[in-house]
Amino acid sequence: MALPQALENYRKQYRKIKLFQDIASVLHWDSEVMMPEEGREYRSSQIAAVAELTHDWMTDKSFLNQIETAKKSIGELPEQDRSVWNRELEVLMEEKEKADKLPSEFVSEFARVTNLAHAEWATAKKDKNFKSFANRLEELVQLSKKQADYFGYTTEPYDALLDSYEKGAKAAQIQILFSDLKKSLVPIVATAPKFKNPFPGPVSTDKQTKFCNRLPSLLGLTTKESRLDTSNHPFSTSLGKGDKRITTRYSETDPLSSIFGVLHETGHSLYESGLSAMPEWPTPLTEFLSLGIHESQSRLWENQVGRSLPFWEFVYPILLSDFDLTDKELPFKELYQYINSTEKTKVRVEADQVTYNLHIILRFEIERDLINGKIQVKDLPEIWNAKMKESFGLSIENDAEGVLQDIHWSMGAFGYFPTYTLGNIFSSQFFKKFTEEYPDSHNKFSAKGDFSDLLGWLRKNIHSKGKIFDVDTLMKQTTGESANSKYLISYLNGKIEEVTK
């Protein structure tokens, strides 16, 4: 049955907006991976122009008229199709109402400043000098506070920013969840074993690249639809249907850093690939549901799969060959123990799966106070270092391993960090349900490197759902209950017991 003309018209305009948003993603990806340094200033203007253009289209009154006309024409559809269309337009109106609150000149300025900030952050990190980035960060904080004011909030400004990543989430609720989780994690950290780095010497970037390039295809993301590059901070992005980009960074003394970076970012891209495979893509319902769900996909492939015994039983001989090592030089047991070692570290992206959430809690507490005006940008290094000492017992030697280590604040992404821990909670719950339904999956993992059952399960239960349901409904439909951190704690305790046998 042909769609009513009003629905066709609305989708045509929506898809034009989506097309230019993907063009902006190309500009961002290139600026972080390929662009020469001198192009930064002009690139920031390009990105700002596209951001302002798409914002104008989204907030234009004629688009609102198209949406309202589309709503009226839903009654012409068969009854079984109406609920999905109502949900699609409901999701779009939520997005549009949020966009309507932001003036075009603010959107343009925010896009311009964040693009400039990325390069300045990278230089400051390289120079280990927070003061050289402090003024730009202060500008980003003020813009983010202004953004929160535009969005509106009932309790605190940080809630308005958090809502952009995890709809409906409140900082006070997150605080309670994280406090309870921290209480459970502290005794685990105290008893978890630490194992030394078993690599006999440095592993060249070329050798690591050879191995890392195998991983996306192994998990189900083919080279025809993706590519792997290097950047200052690992990330993944979708540039449109059939075009997913992944980056990682390399440490010759600890090759696991690049490997788990690739596994993590591949998880993100597999989710985006699944979304763009949904019928009728792109529509408002074929977007990712929340950053917490997005992070659940990356953390699941990184941890539940990437740190599992079956995964390493399969890839171990491949790694030895690519790294030009023998099993005597790199014994399997020592490697596997190191992969699942627990050690308090200064850098989040190098943290093990047990202590990782403590890094997130620290960042959540700092950025919440920063946006709510309780602390100042100039005091961040001192506050950061004190919290690292309190939570980890570690002394920060320089800003690069401290307050400058993450890219997020240079992106103006205040409110993003909590979604990592939410993702860890979701991923443990998802994987537990998957193994109940596919109890023999570990044999396919180890014998054939076959992860198709898991990818198929994720496609069916999560990727193909897009934004059709809210997070709580998706969790209940997929696992039978709301999100529960007990599955994460159970997984971590089980992992420690496994490696200490």
Q: What is the residue-wise DSSP string for 113-174?
A: HHHHHHHHHHHHHHHT-THHHHHHHHHHHHHHHHHHHHH--SS-HHHHHHHHHSTT--HHHH
- Report whether pLDDT(435) > 60: yes
The confidence score (pLDDT) of residue 1 equals 55
pTM for the whole thing?
Answer: 0.92
Average pLDDT score over residue span 239-249:
96
**101, 116, 150 — which closes off a domain?**
101
Residue 338 in any domain: the answer is yes
Average pLDDT score over residue span 12-24:
96
Residues 67 and 170 in one domain: no
CATH number at residue 324: 1.10.1370.30
Residues 273 and 313 in one domain: yes
Residues 186 and 327 in one domain: yes
Average pLDDT score over residue span 55-61:
96
Average pLDDT score over residue span 258-268:
97
Residue 213 in any domain: the answer is yes
pLDDT > 70: percent of the chain:
100
- Report whether pLDDT(379) > 90: yes
Angle at 295 between CA 289 and CA 301, to 5 degrees: 120
Q: Cα–Cα distances in Å, from 208 out to 96, 253, 469?
A: 44, 11, 40
Average pLDDT score over residue span 147-156:
96
Q: CB neighbours of 495 closer than 8 A, spacing ≥ 6?
A: 307, 340, 353
The confidence score (pLDDT) of residue 98 equals 94
- Report whether pLDDT(101) > 80: yes
Residues 75 and 134 in one domain: no
Q: How far apart are CA 60 and CA 62, in angstroms?
A: 5
What range does the domain containing 426 cover? Answer: 128-500
Q: How far apart are CA 364 and CA 420, in angstroms?
A: 10
Question: pLDDT by residue (tens digit) across 121-145?
Answer: 999 999 999 999 999 999 999 999 9
268 is known to lie in a ligand binding site: yes
* Structure token pair of residue 150: 């535009």
Residues 434 and 289 in one domain: yes
- Pairing verdict, β 244-248 and 236-238: antiparallel
Average pLDDT score over residue span 272-277:
97
Average pLDDT score over residue span 281-310:
97
Residue 114 in any domain: the answer is no
Residue 379 in any domain: the answer is yes
For the chain, the straight-line distance linking the first and the last C-alpha, in angstroms and rounded, comes to 61
- Report whether pLDDT(257) > 90: yes
SS3 of 237, please? Answer: strand
**Residue 316 neighbours by CB distance under 10 Å:** 16
The confidence score (pLDDT) of residue 283 equals 96
The domain tally of the chain equals: 2
Question: pLDDT by residue (tens digit) across 383-402?
Answer: 999 999 998 999 999 999 99
Average pLDDT score over residue span 303-310:
96
- Percentages helix, strand, coil for the chain, rounded to the nearest 5? 70, 5, 30
Residues 271 and 337 in one domain: yes
Q: Is residue 191 very low, low, confident or very high in pLDDT (cuts 50, 70, 90)?
A: confident
Do 288 and 267 contact (CB within 8 A), yes or no?
no
Residue 403 in any domain: the answer is yes
Residues 37 and 164 in one domain: no
The confidence score (pLDDT) of residue 190 equals 84
* Structure token pair of residue 301: 């492939």
Q: Which comes out higher in pLDDT, residue 188 or 145? A: 145
Residue 86 in any domain: the answer is yes
295 is known to lie in a ligand binding site: yes
Residue 111 in any domain: the answer is no
| Residues marked as catalytic | 265
Listing DSSP states for 169-188 in one string gives: --HHHHHHHHHHHHHHHHHH
Q: Write down the residue that tokens 């440490």 correspond to.
A: 251
Residues 51 and 158 in one domain: no
Residues 360 and 290 in one domain: yes
**101, 120, 151 — which closes off a domain?**
101
The confidence score (pLDDT) of residue 126 equals 95
3-state SS, 272-320, equals HHHHHCCCCCCCHHHCCCCHHHHHHHHHHHHHHHCCCHHHHHHHHHHHH
The confidence score (pLDDT) of residue 349 equals 85
The confidence score (pLDDT) of residue 233 equals 84
Residues 140 and 43 in one domain: no
Average pLDDT score over residue span 207-218:
98
Q: How far apart are CA 112 and CA 148, in angstroms?
A: 18
Residues 80 and 170 in one domain: no
Kindly report the average pLDDT of the chain as a whole number: 95
Residues 166 and 226 in one domain: yes
- Report whether pLDDT(197) > 80: yes
**66, 84, 101 — which closes off a domain?**
101
Residue 166 in any domain: the answer is yes
- Report whether pLDDT(297) > 90: yes
- Report whether pLDDT(415) > 90: yes
350 is known to lie in a ligand binding site: no
pLDDT > 90: percent of the chain:
93
Do 213 and 259 contact (CB within 8 A), yes or no?
no
